[in-house]
Each structure stands twice: as structure tokens, then as C-alpha cells.
Amino acid sequence: MIDLVSTLQRHFGHGSFRTGQEALVRAVLEGRDVLAVMPTGSGKSLGFQLPALMLPGTTLVVSPLISLMKDQVDDLDRRGIRAAALHSMLSADARGDALRAARLGDLRLLYVAPERFASDQFTQLLREVPIARFVIDEAHCVSEWGHDFRPDYRRLRDAAAACRRGDGRAGRPPVAAFTATATPEVRDDIVDLLGLARPHVIVAGFDRPNIHLRVVPVAGDNEKHRVLAGLVGSRRALVYASTRKKAEAAAGTLQAAGIEAAAYHAGLEDAERTRVQEAFASGAMRVVCATNAFGMGIDRPDVDAVIHVDITGSVEAYYQEIGRAGRDGRDATATLLWNYADVRTREFLIDRGREEQPERQGMAVDPADIARRKDLEHRKLRRMVAYADATGCLRATILRYFGDPAAREPCGACGNCDRRTTLGAADLDLVRTVLSGIAQAGERYGRRKIVAMLVGDVEALPDALASLPASGALREERPRTIEHWIDAACGAGLIRVSGDQYRTLSLTAPGRDVMDGRALDVSMAPPVALPAKGGRRASTGRRLVAPRTGELGLRARASRPPAGQPHDSPGPRSVSSVGVSDALRAWRIEQARRRSVPPYVILHDRTLDAIASALPASLEDLRGLPGIGPAKLDAFGDDILGLVAAVLSKTG
């Protein structure tokens, strides 16, 4: 193998590669198509800059931002590497120089904006200049699922196909796509739409080992405000909230506790926003309580703590925001205050937001498209809820989400790993009883049935389960407590949950060893005690979410709309309507998956809403609702009535 470190040292002055960089450089050198997913700032550019120095021909780099191109070209200039950029802000002279140098084959790297490929002069140039690698930076711009869709990126596949290879071989030059956006939809789009051929996919650099992750369940807003000042303490901190009102409330709470803090959000006057931003950047202001509007260009390396008082809409957003902690490599913490009620705010923002979103560049606002996007955002939110509810290692949960192979469980530096202990005799007994219950029931049931059996709730059970020895074995425990133990045992790898809609529980090999008493040292994070119930409170706290159609794990939620909504609140909805709406949504996802169609093809949102508010009791009632034609009535009528009836019987 060639020694790349000395080349790195000689041209870039770095003594060693960062995680993933060397593998990336080698993959690009090798000549296969490459898709590299690495976070911003992790040193992706080296992945094409270093090979560009070693390969015959010019490396063409498509980049959407002129400022980014200029920075890189300036940086390469300083290092004595010949590079140029072609974009609309160039003077005629400068453009002439760049074109000439490119034609002469003088350039190691040529940066271009995607619009360039519409110009005949430029495509003519491409036919003359042999291209070593066709590099596409910020490759997620090709995807409508990404956040900065650029229609020009759709042309790049053909553009690459029209290039000549630097090594003189037939076919187009190898394509290397780079992005920091990791969702499966975006990745699939990149591969499909840019025409990557069996790409070597490299995911790296997502782990931030110096950030300690934790999730703190809270009962509601009062508890959040009680713990906030303690979490901030004397540290430099960013506090993120889902709405402007909540950001201001958090700042108010901190100020009342004698901590100098300011709110920051898009609703402030420009002057105030600038003041807060500059005060934080200079270090004069120690704490900022912000919506996601804050962060762009905030480069203080010494942020000690990032605290989220509300759940974010996605794991990506969460990771990007907590990534602002500990940039200097010193220990930092990321804390999520977790209350299930906040999910409603997020759902509300998703359902509301999209219709109001102005037309994107070059994208028609097609209702089917809006429905697809909403559905995607709901799915992203569910993944974030799964993080908040995770019983296993939090870091491994996030890294697995991004597909980063660095995920190693347990990490030893997250709240759940900290809480891992060897179970005492009483807890071990309880876990063994749970495992044995699952085994006795034939490993064919989901969590809800198993819990009902263990607490002896025979009405909810088929006879076969009611008569088992395990039935009623844990009758003195609260059902919720057992649910949590089951989750914890899943996190510890003793119980497996099937991937289908039934979410059947079964035992793993280690789980069997524990049940049979072959393994006595059981290490896991026991469930967190639920926050004390303050008076009459709707069900919140650590809760598993999506109702499963297989067993209708329905649960009524707060009938009050969540506090602090930025838009007009919808009128209060009844507990039943909320429950029905949730149940329908879960059911619809299942139906869509079974038929491999998008959910809106099953039923539109407005139809779900109409059903949730009408609560139909008969096919007759259902027939009159918008979006319910004879075909839908025939296909889904019974299912829908069954769901509605099930929720009503639960919620009264």
C-alpha cells in the first residue's frame, strides 16, 4: 500500500488522518464510485483533494456555494496546489484565466457551480479536459428530501457521463459524492439520481466521544423549569426550545435564578438578534435560549452544555444542535428533557408547517408531494422519539441511525450506560419472571399482551394465556413498570422484538440463559422511576409510542393542545379524537407498507381528521365523510369502525 500519510504531511501539513479519512482517500483513489457521508467539519474535502494530487487529469468539483469554493481555492493556493473556480461572480478576466489554465491541463482541481453545465462553452471545455474524478459536494442537493434541493443537480448525471477520463480509459470518470446528510431517503436519491454505480459507501466521523449524552424524563413544563438552572449551573450553555415562547420562558427562568441568559429566535428585532449573537460569540453572554434559528455561524469552541427543553423533530436536527458542544474536545454534555406531550407540538408543527411553506425553487406544490413530505417528517420524529425512549446505549442508538460503524455498545459515556448495573436478587427475579412469561406464551405475543398476562388482567387475554402459570405472577406490579422492564431487557439484549407490525417478543440466547439461571450476572440499565404524578396528569413520561395495529396499544393523551404553539391553536380536541387520530395514523402506515404505496394513497390527512372528529359508529356515518368513496368504504370501512370503537371503549 502506498504511504498516504507522507503525502498528507507534505501537501497539507497534517500529521495523521482523522477517522474515516484514509479509507475515503483510498476508495476515491481506487476508482470506484464513492458515496461519503461525514459530518460538516470532519474533513471530507481531503477525500478528493488528496487524490486530486496523485491522479492523472483534473478533478472536477461541483459545489453549490460560491463562498465555499472560494475558501477552498484560496486554501489550496496557499498550499501551492493549482486550483480555480468557475462561477457567476467571476470577472471576465478571471474567468478567461481559469478556462485557459483548465484547457492547458494546469489545474489539479477545478471547482464549478452546478449551473455551469447549462453553458455550451463549459460543456465544450469538458470535452477537452481529461477528468480524474467527478466530485459532487453537498450531494444531498439532488434530493427533494434534503433541505436544499437544487434542480441543477439533476443534470449532473448526464454531465458526468459526457466527461473524458483522465487515465484515458473508456467510459465516464469515477463519481464521488459527498454529503453530511444521512437519511436513507436522501442516500437512495443520491445513488439513483446521480447514477452512482455500485458505490463504495463510507460513513464516518459522527461520533463525538467527548459529548456525554443523556435523556431526563420530566413530568411537564413545571419540572423542566425546576431543573433547568441546575443543568446550566456555571457552564457556557445553549438551551434549545421548539417555539419562540418556550425559548423566552426558558431564558426567563434562568434570569430569575440569577443566570445571565438571553432568548434568540426569528421573531426578535434584527438589532436584538445581532446583539445576542455577538454577545454569545464574544463570550460576554454565557447562555442563550434559542429556537433552531440559532446556530448558523456560532463557532464558540467552548460550549459546555447543550440542553433541549423540547424534543427536536429529527435525530439529524438533534445531532446537529448538540454538535455545537465541546468543539474544543473538552468534556461537554447534551441533555434532552423528555416529556411525551412535546411530541404533540412537533406533530402539530409538521401538519401545519408544510401547507404554509412557500414554493421551493423549481418545485411544484403538489398535494401528493406535501403528503409525502409530511409523512416523512412524522417518520423522522418517530425515530427521535425512539431515541428519547431508548433503553440501550444512547450513543450507539444515534450512530446506528447514521449508519456509522463506530457504534459500539455500551459506550460508557451516556446516561443509559451510566445507569447500567448488575441487577440485585429482587430485580433479577422480576426479569426472570418476565422472560419466563414470554417463553410460556410461546414467544408469539407483543408487549401489551405479555404485560396484561403478567399482571393477571385476564379480561384482556385469550384463554390460552390466562391459564398459564405466569398469568398473574406479577400482579402486585404496575403494568407501566413491567413495560419499562421489558424495554430495559430489550436494551440489554435479553429480549428481541420482531420487525413486523406485530412487534412480537421473543428471547435471545443470553435471555434464555438468564431465564434458566445459567447467567446470574445481569447488567442492564434498570428503568428510571417515573416522575411523581402531580395531581391529575395525562399519561406522559417515558412512554413507548406508536400504537400497534396488531394489538391496538392505544393510549389516550392530553386533551389540551400543547402549550406555546406558534400558530393559532386548533380547538381543544377530545381525548377520543386524539386517540382515534393516532390509531388511524399508525394503521394507515401499516396499510401503506403492506401495499407498498405512500400513506396518502390509503387515506388523505383530511379524511383522517374528519374521521377523528366525527367518530363514526356505522358504515352509514362513514359514507358521508370527505374522501370516503365506495371503494374506500369497501376496503377499509370495517377496519376504521373497529379502530374507532376500540379507542372509544378505552377512553369512554
Picked from ligand ADP, Zn ion, none, the partner binding residue 38 (CB below 5 to 8 A depending on kind) is ligand ADP
**Alpha carbons 389 and 543: distance in angstroms, whole number:** 7
**How many residues can be counted in the chain?**
652
**Alpha carbons 535 and 90: distance in angstroms, whole number:** 67
Among 14, 496, 512, 604, binds ligand ADP (CB under 6 A): 14
Among 11, 21, 112, 514, binds ligand ADP (CB under 6 A): 21
Contacts with ligand ADP in 30-89 (CB under 6 A)? 38, 40-46
Is residue 393 a contact residue for Zn ion (CB under 5 A)? yes
Picked from ligand ADP, Zn ion, none, the partner binding residue 43 (CB below 5 to 8 A depending on kind) is ligand ADP
Closer Cβ to Zn ion, 401 or 636, answer by number: 401
Contacts with Zn ion in 397-456 (CB under 5 A)? 410-411, 414, 417
Picked from Zn ion, ligand ADP, none, the partner binding residue 143 (CB below 5 to 8 A depending on kind) is none
Torsion of CA 21, 23, 28, 34, to 10 degrees: -100
**Alpha carbons 237 and 325: distance in angstroms, whole number:** 8
Contacts with ligand ADP in 494-513 (CB under 6 A)? none
Picked from Zn ion, ligand ADP, none, the partner binding residue 109 (CB below 5 to 8 A depending on kind) is none
CA angle 265, 267, 273 (to 5 degrees): 55
Closer Cβ to ligand ADP, 45 or 335, answer by number: 45
Picked from ligand ADP, Zn ion, none, the partner binding residue 393 (CB below 5 to 8 A depending on kind) is Zn ion
Taking alpha carbons only, the member of 249, 241, 223 closest to residue 349 is 241
**Alpha carbons 561 and 544: distance in angstroms, whole number:** 20
Half-sphere exposure of 448 (CA within 13 A, CB side): 19
Site residue total, ligand ADP (CB under 6 A): 12
**Alpha carbons 548 and 340: distance in angstroms, whole number:** 17
Question: At 472, phi and psi to the nearest 5?
Answer: 80, 5
Picked from ligand ADP, Zn ion, none, the partner binding residue 395 (CB below 5 to 8 A depending on kind) is Zn ion
| Minimum CB–partner distance for residue 317 and ligand ADP (Å) | 18
Region for 214 from its dihedrals, namely left if φ exceeds 0, alpha if ψ lies in -120 to 50, beta otherwise? beta
Q: How far is CA 445 from CA 117, 341, 386, 389, 504, in A?
A: 57, 28, 21, 21, 5
**Strands across the sheet containing 211-217:** 211-217, 332-338, 305-308, 237-240, 287-290, 261-264
Picked from Zn ion, ligand ADP, none, the partner binding residue 585 (CB below 5 to 8 A depending on kind) is none
Give the x-and-dash track for 42-81 against Zn ion (CB under 5 A): ----------------------------------------
**Alpha carbons 237 and 222: distance in angstroms, whole number:** 20
Which residue is at the shortest CB distance from ligand ADP? 43
Q: How far is CA 69 from CA 41, 143, 297, 647, in A?
A: 15, 21, 17, 56
Is residue 9 a contact residue for ligand ADP (CB under 6 A)? no
Region for 76 from its dihedrals, namely left if φ exceeds 0, alpha if ψ lies in -120 to 50, beta otherwise? alpha
Closer Cβ to Zn ion, 251 or 393, answer by number: 393
Picked from Zn ion, ligand ADP, none, the partner binding residue 414 (CB below 5 to 8 A depending on kind) is Zn ion
Closer Cβ to ligand ADP, 44 or 503, answer by number: 44
The beta strand positions in 22-101, using DSSP E, are 34-37, 58-62, 83-86
Closer Cβ to ligand ADP, 37 or 413, answer by number: 37
Picked from ligand ADP, Zn ion, none, the partner binding residue 411 (CB below 5 to 8 A depending on kind) is Zn ion
Options 13-21, 213-221, 617-625, 631-639: segment touching ligand ADP (CB under 6 A): 13-21
Among 7, 17, 193, 531, binds ligand ADP (CB under 6 A): 17
Residues near ligand ADP (CB under 6 A) are 14, 17-18, 21, 38, 40-46
Residues near Zn ion (CB under 5 A) are 393, 395, 410-411, 414, 417
